[in-house]
Amino acid sequence: MEGVEIASKKFKDMLLFFSKLKDNDVIIYCYRGGMHSESVVALCNSLGFSFYKLEGGYKAYRQHVNTYFIKLYIHCTDSYYIWACWFW
């Protein structure tokens, strides 16, 4: 932990927070492309964590979810009442 503290005080605090999540599935993501999250995941995993990186960052995830709901909406309006699809 001393080496991490020398490299970055902010990262030391982040690792202390992550240590509480060590037994959970954790996905790290960047807002845009993923270069920072890739570095954080690689370093954390080298320290014994088992974290994952969200490929493409938050923007790619958001686009995927929006596309899914648009397709769901189109399907629902063709066959059912719109509100009924949200309960499936």
CATH number for 62: 3.40.250.10
Residues above pLDDT 90, as percent of the chain: 1
Q: What is the pLDDT of residue 88?
A: 43
User: Does residue 64 register a pLDDT over 60?
Assistant: yes
Region 42-53 average pLDDT: 89
Q: What is the pLDDT of residue 16?
A: 86
User: Does residue 20 register a pLDDT over 80?
Assistant: yes
- Mean pLDDT (the chain) is 76
Q: What is the pLDDT of residue 54?
A: 86
User: Does residue 36 register a pLDDT over 60?
Assistant: yes
Supply the range of the domain harboring residue 13.
Answer: 2-85
Q: To the nearest 10°, report the CA torsion of 77, 83, 87, 88.
A: -10
User: Whole-angstrom Cα distance, residue 77 to residue 69?
Assistant: 12
| Runs of H (alpha helix) within the chain | 2-7, 9-19, 35-46, 57-79, 82-85
Total domain count, the chain: 1
Cα–Cα distances in angstroms (integers) from residue 74 to residues 64, 65, 84, in the given order: 16, 14, 13
